Structure 1
């Protein structure tokens, strides 16, 4: 399955990690965060599917070391939303 990094129709960036091995997925998330951060404020949706293991890896290896706000929305447990507002 081909990975997808794209701006969604509502202007929010997203990355789809379905079918991607965890090590590669973590690198893709790091790259995508660097890309969107370079533009200033952002909202990024990380689509993980049903992999709670991948979500934990993203939290523990990437997001906990940042100042970004991030959460798993109650309306879709298969994604992580990362928000950053540059002041």
Structure 2
């Protein structure tokens, strides 16, 4: 089972322990989940979720870094905002 998310391929692949998601980036690298899921559909859903969280984290980090570099927020405020986001998304 496979889908496309803004040009990034997300597939569910069967392993001996169950289904895992695999994200293939256009630059040739890929990421595979460590966790196994009972169905291909659930693995695909979790792959979408992982990609959305990673994208949001990256965008927020870049934005806050630019705001911090411009002096509109200080390093402590930057750290507090990023920590809040990490806790909200349970980002690892």
TM-score, normalization by structure 2: 0.29
Structure with higher Rg: it is: 2
Higher relative contact order (CA 8 A, sep 6+): 1
Structure with greater helix share of residues: 2
TM-score by length of 1: 0.30
